[in-house]
């Protein structure tokens, strides 16, 4: 995966973007551990990353500010976690990111945090449950749900990082 790391460094040289990196993540799943460390590591490397809790001013509407940050970013790191698909906010954000990379030369690097990439791609397990709930709620048009499914399949098919906790077996002497 060294080549993926080089992509991030190469992409940050562009001065036409407000942010080098936009990190998409479900805060409840990863904010106090993995993404916290990720943001700190990016900062130490001099990489300007949009962080939703830091860069959105109090009183501003979140949706337009996030859309501007997505459109103003050169590289996208999408952190998939077990409950990511249960957040329609994350799904809409991902759909907008996908649209951006389809219409302009940008990079999207998926990170599978404590979730099997095939579960994201096939929308099985927790992802299947989340989509079932979205469909049963009748709050979303079938077209929007179909778009989310297609984007998840496409993004989860990209080469990325698989970071899953492996249970350590205790070895006995």
Region of residue 107 (left: phi > 0; alpha: psi -120 to 50; beta: else)? beta
Is residue 28 part of the annotated active site? The answer reads: no
How far is 66 from 96, CA to CA, in rounded Å? 10
Catalytically annotated residue among 60, 65, 93, 128: 93
The residues carrying an active-site annotation are 93
């Amino acid at each position: 995966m060294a080549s993926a790391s080089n992509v991030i460094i190469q992409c940050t040289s562009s001065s036409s973007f407000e942010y080098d990196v936009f990190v998409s993540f479900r805060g409840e799943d990863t904010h106090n551990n993995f993404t916290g460390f990720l943001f700190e590591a990016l900062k130490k490397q001099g990489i300007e990353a949009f962080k939703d809790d830091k860069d959105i001013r109090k009183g501003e509407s979140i949706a337009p500010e996030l859309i501007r940050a997505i459109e103003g970013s050169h590289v996208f790191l999408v952190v998939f976690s077990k409950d990511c698909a249960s957040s329609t906010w994350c799904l809409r954000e991902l759909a907008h990111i996908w649209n951006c990379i389809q219409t302009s030369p940008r990079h999207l690097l998926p990170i599978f945090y404590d979730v099997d990439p095939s579960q994201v791609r096939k929308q099985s397990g927790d992802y299947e449950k989340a989509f079932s709930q979205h469909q049963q709620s009748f709050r979303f048009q079938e077209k929007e749900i179909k778009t989310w499914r297609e984007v998840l399949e496409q993004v989860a098919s990209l080469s990325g990082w698989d970071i899953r906790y492996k249970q350590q077996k205790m070895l006995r002497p």
